[in-house]
Structures are given as C-alpha cells and as structure tokens.
A and B are shown apart, each in its own frame.
Chain A
Amino acid sequence: MLDYTPKEYSKREALSINPAKTCQPVGAMYAALGVNKCLPHSHGSQGCCSFHRMFLTRNFRDPIMASTSSFTEGSAVFGGGSNLKTSIKNVFSIYNPDILAVHTTCLSETIGDDMNSLISGTQIPDGKIVIHANTPSYQGSHITGFSNMVKGFIKYLAANTKTPNGKLNVIPGFVNPADMREIKRLLKAMGVPFTMFPDTSGVIDAPMTGKFEMYPAGGTKVDDIKDLGNSEATLALGSFASAEGAYDLEKKCKVPAKILKTPIGVKATDDFLMAVAKLTGKEIPAEIEEERGQVVDIMVDCHYHYHGKKVALFGDPDLLLALTEFTISMGMIPKYVVTGTPGDSFEKEIKAMMEEAGIDGKVKALGDLFTLQQWMKEEPVDLLMGGTHGKYIARAEDVPFVRIGFPILDRSVHSYMPITGYKGALRIIELISNALLDRQERDCADEDLELIM
C-alpha cells in the first residue's frame, strides 16, 4: 500500500500527489442543492457533471440531481452559448425546477463564456429564475466553489427592500446536512428567528417513502434568499466557505457580517452561541447549557483515552481550523495539519494555535496527502483524522483512523450525525476514543486486556 512514498521529503513545485482537495464546481453543486426546488447546472463538458454527481452521491448515498450543457468540441471552440440556451429550455420544460443555478468549469472559463450576457440573452419561462456563479477549477478548491455559489445566489437574489424581517442569517459553510440540522436546532432552542442558507437538510438526507422526489421538501426557499437582504445580521460559519458571501451581502444590502469558526468543539460552539446571544439579546437556554456540561463531563472523565496523543489532520480548511482547536482543548497534539485548499491565513492561524499550545507541529495549505504521509514516516503519530482517502495512509503506516470531513465514501450514516455543536463534539470524542481504544485492545497482550476502560 502506497509502497513508493519515500521517507525523505523532497520539495515538489509542480506535481500534486494524492490531493487533499478537489475542484470548485462540486462545491457549487452542493451549495445549489441547498436551495429548495433548485437544479444545479454545470456549464461545461458533461464529464465534470457526472463526476461531481457521482462524488456527492457516493458521499451521501442519496440522489444528486444536476444537468449539464454537454459541450462538444464545436462549443469549446465557438463558445457554449447555444448549449446553455438549449439547456435552459430543456431543463424547464422537462424537469421544471423553480430555479436553475449555473456554475462553470475550467472549459467554459478558459474559453471565456460571458455568463451574464448569455443568461440575460436567454428566454426564461415566467416565474422561473436562472442564476450563475463562475467556478473556475484552476482556482482554489471545492470550498471556493461553494463560496462562489453562495455569492452567486446573493448577487442575483438578495435584496434590501427596507422591510426588516428581524431575522439572523446563518451561512453554515461546507458541512453535512446533519450539521445544518444541528445548527438550526440550537437556533430554535434559543428562540431566534433565522434563515439558514444554503441548507441541504431534507434534500440529500431525504427519507425513503417509496416515491422518488426530484425536488425534496428541504432547501432554503427562494423567497427566503431574497429576504436575506432584510435581516439584522449574518453569521458566516467557516471563513473559507462562508465569509465572502456574508461580506457581499453586507456590501449589497447593508446586513452586517460576522465571521466565526465552524462550530466544532466546545470553544467554537461557545463562540457561536455567544455571538447569537449578543446579536439577538436571547438567552442561552438551560437545555443547551446542560449539553455543554455533558461534553465537558466526558472530556474530564475520559481524558486518559486520548490525552497526549499525536494526531495528523487533513481536510477542508474550516473543518481543520475548528478541529485543531478542539483536539488541542482535549489535550491532544495536532502534529500535522494539511489542507489542499490554498490560503495563507490557514497556515498562520493553525501555526498560532500550535505555538500557543507549545506544539512542535507542521501545517500546510495547498498541501497533499503524499506530503502528509512523508511527515508521518519521519515522525509517526498515534491517530489520523480526515476523509476516506486517508485510509490508504492509515493502512500503510498502521495508524488508527477516524473518518471526518469530506468525502467519506466507505462508511455510512456519517452525513446523518452532526459533528457541530455540543452534540457533535460528543460524537467526535466518541470516534477518537473508540479508534484509539480499539487499537490498544487489538495490540495489547492478553493479560493487559482490560474489562473496563
């Protein structure tokens, strides 16, 4: 397994090996699925759209619908205008979404299709909407694509009509539907009126009823996206996925933006709830305080399961910024932290956390799993945490592995279980604890196998 990864680290300038990111459009497709009766549309050649649908389907084990402009070489040379026009016509008459959310690929971006004028020059049926976001695959990552699509919806739809709605906007970032549910549950418990956008809960964790629904009941309603411009404030959870959308809304509609970490772990969840409380004047109810106390209770009771263990983390930047903080607060040592998404602020923030905790660790943005594995060969860790692709390293280096983040293609149920909020923190502790104890009990001598741990 991964037999050709040498221990000696050599600097690479051009070759990416086993990436810790994928390209923009899949993030845009995910964001668009978080809108009610919306069909994502990929303006490029059809391979992208198939790959992105496949990938999300494998992650969520649910139907992922999207259409494509199906470029041929002719359209690649002369522009994809007529492909988009035909697509819009066909999609609305055959599949009848309320809104079509178009994203681009490296193909349409390289040829320079002017999406604004293509869309405004196309006849769109009455009452239907077409929006777009430019998502060039050669910039950033899928997280950038998510952010761009959020911005696209805001650009096209959000408006300040001078009729304040008294609501709080929440952009949850690139998280699972279960996390969106959990964040909504906390807001409801606090009695805060809010709009979450986008919101994939009820769309890609839809129940089995015996009937396929092309547009399930979930997703942020188009009217609510329009109304984002009338809200009191926007909370952007996860700076990489959510900040730019919130800032755009601030610029366009004067809704103040506040950027927070994705609420993973005790401190980030505290910060989230405090921000909500301060913005709205609502109190944090006893039942949530109880949940918080349960997490701290477990952390104190079971610290010896994981305290002092070295962990290597990889995945998307917003997840890692919070997870690094949380694992440090658990007494763990996040030794290596790698995201494939570019961004100087990532390295700076993680470095600062490591320094404050006195950890001699390594961090890399625009890094890949090949580098991570080389680091792990140089100085091993006790635990690896990240998406499914980490399993090859876990096997090669014989390290226990916790699946967290995106994508998780080889286990089920994860998208139904939150990792955000205090409930999510409990689950992360359980995953970490179980992985470490399973390993200990697999490897220890018979006489050392304990009944109670």
Chain B
Amino acid sequence: MNAVDIKQKVSKTLEQYPAAVFKNRKDHVIVKDSEADVQIITANTRTVPGIITNRGCCYAGCKGVVLGPLRDALIITHGPIGCGYYSWGTRRHKGRIDGDEKNYLSYCLSTDLQEGDIVFGGDKKLKQAITEAVEIFHPETIMICSTCPVGLIGDDINADAAWAQKEFGIKVLAFSCEGYKGVSQSGGHHIANNSLIKHVIGTGERAVGKYSLNILGEYNIGGDGWEVERIMKRIGYDIVSVMTGNGTVRDLSNAHLAHLNVVQCHRSINYIGEMMNTKYGHDWIKVNFIGVQSMAKSLRDIAAYFGDKDLIDRTEEVIAEEISEISDAMEYFRNICQGKTAALFVGGSRAHHYQMLLKDIGVETVLAGYEFGHRDDYEGREVIPTIKADGDSKNIESIEVEPDSKYYRVFLSPERVIELKNTINLNDYPGMMKGMSDGSIVIDDLNHYETEEFLKILKPDIFCSGIKDKYISHKAGVFSKQLHSYDYSGPYAGFKGAVNFARDIAMGLTTPSWKLITPPWKKEPMLEGTMAV
C-alpha cells in the first residue's frame, strides 16, 4: 500500500468515531510523510474514557517500573491490597545477590488498607507496618508508594517516612504516586526520578575506574541488563550503577562519581539524565542496546565519547568477536523472517528500539506507537520548548537542581561538544519518527478499536505488544510477541539477546499450529456418508 492509500484508510477508520472522540484521536495518529513540512503528534494527554486504552497508572510507573527493580530497597505499597499484589513478580526485572547485598524482589509488602483505615486515616497503620518490616527484614532502605485513596484521605506519608527514618536510623523515602496523577505511567517515572536525585544519587563515595559510566533506564527485563553489562565489562568499563535493573540503592548513591550516563529508555529516566547534567555536569548519550547494528553503534558512540584510542580499539575488537559469534545464527533466522512486516505498540521506548532489531532480521515496521510517550519521544527533544504543559500533568512536580558545589565537573570542552554532537546523540534524543519510512503509521495511546482495525488494514505478520492484546491478535490469526515481558524469554538486548529474539520470532512465525486453525471439513467438500444413522 502506498502512503496515500494508508492515509485514506486511517482517516476512514477514525471517522467511525463519535465526533468528540474523532476530534481527540485524529491528532494522535500520523502517517509518516517526509515531504510534509512538519508532523506534530499529540501525546501525553488524558485518556478518552471508555475507549479501552492499554495504559496503566502513575503507581505502576513509579513503583512497578522505576523503583520495583531496586532489589535492596524494601517497598511498602500503602493502599488496599490490589496494587501491591498486581505488581508482585509480574514485571520481569531480574535480580541476583552480589556479596552481602540483599534481594527483596520475591516479596510483596502492603498495608492492605481496610475500610476503617479509609475512614480514620492510614498513617498509624503505615507506621506500624514500617516498624514490623524493619523488625523482620532489617532493610537499609524502605520506600513507601501510595495508591489512589491515600491522596484522598490525606495520609501524610512524607511525615511518616521522616518519622521512620529518625526512629530506625535507615533511609525511608515516600513516593506520592497515586494512580490518578498525570495521565499514564509517565507521571510515576517523573516522581520516582525526582526522589532518587534528591535523596539517593550523590550520597555515596567509591573509587571509580577510568572508563566509568551509569546505565540509565535499563530494567534488566529477562536479563537484558546483564547481557549489556557482560559486553561493556569485556571492553573495560566500570559500571557504577544501573538504573534500575538489578540495581541497588547502594550503587545508585555512587552514580554521581561516574564519568558518563548512557540512556536506554529515554522516557522513564531522561529527568535524571538532565538533572545530573545540571547538578554534576554529566553528559548523557542516548544509546540503543536492542539490535546488532544499534548495539555496535552504541558501543562505538560510548567509546567515541571517551575518545581514548585503546578504548576505541578494544571496542572494535569486542564488536568483531561478538558479531562473528552470532552471525551464523542471525543469518539462519533472518532467512526465515526476511520480508515480513511488524506492528509495534509498546510503552514509552521499545516501539522505537525494536525497529532496529527487526530490521536486522529483515522485518519492516509498518506501525509503531507508544502508550505514554511524550512528543519528544516521537519527534525528538528539539520540540521540548514547544510542548505546552497540560492541566492533567501539572500535578507532577518538576524539580530544579543546582550545580553541586563539591561534585560538579566539566567533562568536555565546548569544541569537543560540537564535534561529538555531529556523530553521537550527545544530551539528545532524535525520537522515533525520523527513522521510520514513509507511509508507516505512528500512533499514540492505541486503543482496542484501533488495534483491531489497523491489524485488518495492515495485515502485519507480527504484532509486538503486551499481554492485554496478545490473545486478541492470536485469535485473529496474527502472531503476537510481547515486548514488555518477552513472553517469559530473554534477554533480547545486546548481541546474544538479538539471537534470542530472532529465534523467538522465527519460532512464533513457523510453529505448525497456525496451519491447524481451519478444520479440514471447512476446507474440502465432504463426501456423502454411506453409514445410515
């Protein structure tokens, strides 16, 4: 289909909506056209009630995404039981113990608020819960995450945290991430970022290596972070902290001592990237560890930042070795997948990152969208000054930081900045849309109606999305690959991860069961029976 046809079909699909919904949704859908002067998408606005969105809430973004992977922090969900329960073990941020560290990932702690607590307030129960948690687990850090009713009944979780910090002599942080704040998970990312920069980063002291860095926005789903670390360590990097996959509060406290921040998930962690830039002088570069070519480019970009010949040589050596190790397998799976098309609908970053990995195996992306990306994730950071703050998101605090008197450093000369900006994404992210081909659909906050309709229009071979629409897609005969949970597989990042992904896609496309959907009696004329019944 050409771009004009696609545009017509998109319009026709959206015109089926009631007028008010049409008016809203039409600005969230764009057909990529590089001839057009400027293509602006509407994003990060409130969800249309009743539309069957895939979005989650602020609590999910804060507790589920950013804080949850910190394995040495004991997180208490302050609310009725559901929120803690649903975020217990369901996101696959893996963690394992190193030395005397702790790993609380298999526990789910909640104040399990009851009606009486809603009526009389939950502060007392929260304090008691913290006391019990300290007695049982002896944690170094406790984090309290609030849920919808907590904000309404006026529990003062900040005061409770301050009390507990004094009482028990440990770090106790409060996160007001009530589900109704903002319009999606995104507000929760911001809230978590704010507190980590205020209370965690910058509080440690450890000697760092010559090539030291933090990996930001990498949550170690299915072991992604470990595969990236494996490769980086081969090259010789000292990874001071990972935010936050298999992360620890202890590691995060030293993050300010590293030399560089590399950012994988821009949406969830760019706040820390920017604030560390202001406070400590760190540059950040946008990388992508997903896909063979993009992994190699990311490694080269990082080496280029340091600009050290030994490091650059070592990087090339490792890239060559790693690629030669996987090239046969990649070739094998590419032969199976070549020429297929994919539609991608994932949270706030993977819909972009996986386009490169799909390209590595010859699969073209025909639709891509985010649940809760902002315009900069679609269009690039250069549009940030033009983004208008929206009433629904104003309640998400945006904090200002100052250069730190002790730790602020200048890492690069102005000339070097200009030089590097030409070749790498230095303190910048160009967004998803620029790299997409003309005629492909970019869509924000895709809903059920649009999912069904666009699957019919585009007939992709693969629908990469989440658990809520996986089986919708399967019922319709389209193979669906979860790009949140990886369907319990992984890692998909790095070089070995690319092979895992290619293998899983090839397996999903070729599993023989697809051929069994139509019963034989619906495919061939039936002979008349001779048996009298």
Residues of A at under 8 Å CB distance from B?
1-4, 6, 10, 12-19, 21-23, 25-26, 41, 44-48, 50-55, 57-58, 61-76, 83-84, 86-91, 93-95, 105-107, 109-111, 136-139, 141, 206, 208-214, 340, 370, 389, 392
Contacts and interface: CB of A to CB of B under 8 A. Distances in A.
Given A13-B132, A50-B55, 9 more contacts: A4-B137, A10-B135, A15-B109, A70-B51, A106-B113, A106-B149, A110-B148, A137-B82, A208-B517
Given A14-B111, A76-B152, A95 B52 contact: yes
13 contacts: A22-B81, A26-B82, A50-B60, A51-B60, A51-B87, A52-B86, A63-B469, A110-B118, A136-B80, A137-B80, A138-B149, A210-B477, A212-B476
A37 to B, nearest CB: 15
Interface in B122-148: 125-126, 128-129, 131-133, 135-137, 147-148
B176 to A, nearest CB: 11
Interface residues of B, number: 89
Contacts of B52: 65-68, 95
B417 interface: no
A110 B153 contact: yes
A210 B476 contact: yes
B49 A83 contact: yes
A74 B86 contact: no
B57 A46 contact: yes
B85 interface: yes
Contacts of A91: 50
Nearest to A50: B56
B471 interface: yes
Contacts of A209: 475, 517
B53 A44 contact: no
B183 interface: yes
Given A106-B80, A210-B477, A45 B132 contact: no
Nearest to A204: B471
Contacts of A110: 118, 148-149, 152-153
A273 B222 CA distance: 48
Which of B21, B125, B468, B477 has most A Cβ within 10 Å?
B468
B84 to A, nearest CB: 7
A378 B137 CA distance: 18
A212 B475 contact: yes
Contacts of B102: 4
Contacts of A136: 80, 115, 118
Interface of B: 16-18, 20-21, 46-60, 76, 79-90, 102-104, 106-115, 117-118, 125-126, 128-129, 131-133, 135-137, 147-149, 151-153, 178-181, 183, 391-392, 395, 448-449, 452, 466-477, 517-518
Contact of A107 (B113, B180, B395): B180
Nearest to A84: B49
A16 B108 CA distance: 8
Contacts of A45: 57, 148, 179-180
Nearest to B128: A14
B59 A138 contact: no
A70 B179 contact: no
B467 A86 contact: no
Given A57-B468, A94-B21, A47 B60 contact: yes
A106 B17 CA distance: 31
A51 B83 contact: yes
A54 B90 contact: yes
B182 to A, nearest CB: 8
A137 B81 contact: yes
A70 B107 contact: no
